[in-house]
């Protein structure tokens, strides 16, 4: 399942629903990304995306994960729009018979959606706002897959 939305969501509730839908999968891994104030003074974040391409790109990344690992299901929820510090940005969850598959697939999803799904983050402070630069490590992280 892929969801791209402006609305806040409850990661605990989403994980429960996901888990109930994959009865029989003994291993469930989830990751939740939260807006954090790295430097101090951050008042929030604005996330822009490319409607249409975002869903396609996430669908393709999820599809590849489903092929490469033995998964019962994989889910990605990602928000866009204005978010305050402490708000949940996104989550991924994977379900498998095997722990290793669930962990690896979740990491793969995270690595790919960071630099292959069309989202752009802008940090908003009292002094103004600035686009978050991509990091070389994020691009390099793709090499291990």
Partner 1 sequence: MQVMYFAWVRERIGLPREVVETSASTVAQLVDELRAREARYEAAFEDVTALRVALDQELADFDASLEGVQEVAFFPPMTGG
Q: Stretches 7-15, 18-26, 36-44, 53-61: which one binds partner 1 (CB under 8 A)? A: 53-61
Q: Hey, which residues between 87 and 106 contact partner 1 (CB under 8 A)? A: 89-90
Q: Stretches 12-20, 62-70, 94-102, 108-116: which one binds partner 1 (CB under 8 A)? A: 108-116
- Tokens 């889910």: give the residue: 75
Q: Stretches 5-13, 36-44, 99-107, 130-138: which one binds partner 1 (CB under 8 A)? A: 130-138
CB of residue 24 vs partner 1: minimum separation in angstroms? 29
Nearer to partner 1, 5 or 134 (CB): 134
Given a contact cutoff of 8 angstroms between Cβ atoms, the answer to whether 25 and 96 are in contact is yes
User: Does position 3 bind partner 1 by CB under 8 A?
Assistant: no
- Of 74, 51, 57, 69, whose CA–CA distance to 116 is shortest? 57
User: Does position 7 bind partner 1 by CB under 8 A?
Assistant: no
- Alpha carbons 55 and 122: distance in angstroms, whole number: 20
CB of residue 97 vs partner 1: minimum separation in angstroms? 27
The CA-atom distances, in angstroms, between 27 and each of 53, 59, 98, 110 are 31, 22, 6, 18
Given a contact cutoff of 8 angstroms between Cβ atoms, the answer to whether 81 and 7 are in contact is no
Rg of the Cα trace of the chain? 16
Site string for partner 1, 17-46 (x = CB under 8 A): ----------------x-------------
- Alpha carbons 113 and 54: distance in angstroms, whole number: 10
> In this structure, what token pair is assigned to residue 91?
């989550």
User: Does position 134 bind partner 1 by CB under 8 A?
Assistant: yes
User: Does position 50 bind partner 1 by CB under 8 A?
Assistant: yes
User: Does position 62 bind partner 1 by CB under 8 A?
Assistant: no
């Amino acid at each position: 399942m892929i969801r791209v939305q402006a609305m806040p969501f409850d990661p605990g509730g989403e994980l429960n629903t996901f888990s109930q839908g994959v009865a029989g999968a003994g291993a469930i891994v989830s990751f939740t990304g939260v807006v954090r104030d790295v430097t101090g003074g951050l008042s929030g974040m604005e996330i822009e995306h490319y409607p249409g391409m975002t869903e396609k790109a996430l669908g393709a990344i999820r599809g590849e994960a489903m092929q490469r690992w033995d998964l019962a299901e994989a889910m990605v929820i990602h928000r866009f729009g204005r978010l305050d510090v402490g708000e949940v940005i996104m989550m991924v969850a994977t379900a498998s018979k095997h722990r290793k598959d669930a962990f690896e697939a979740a990491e793969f999803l995270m690595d790919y959606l960071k630099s292959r799904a069309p989202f752009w983050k802008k940090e908003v402070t009292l002094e103004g706002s600035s686009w978050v630069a991509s990091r070389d490590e994020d691009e390099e992280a793709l090499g291990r897959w």
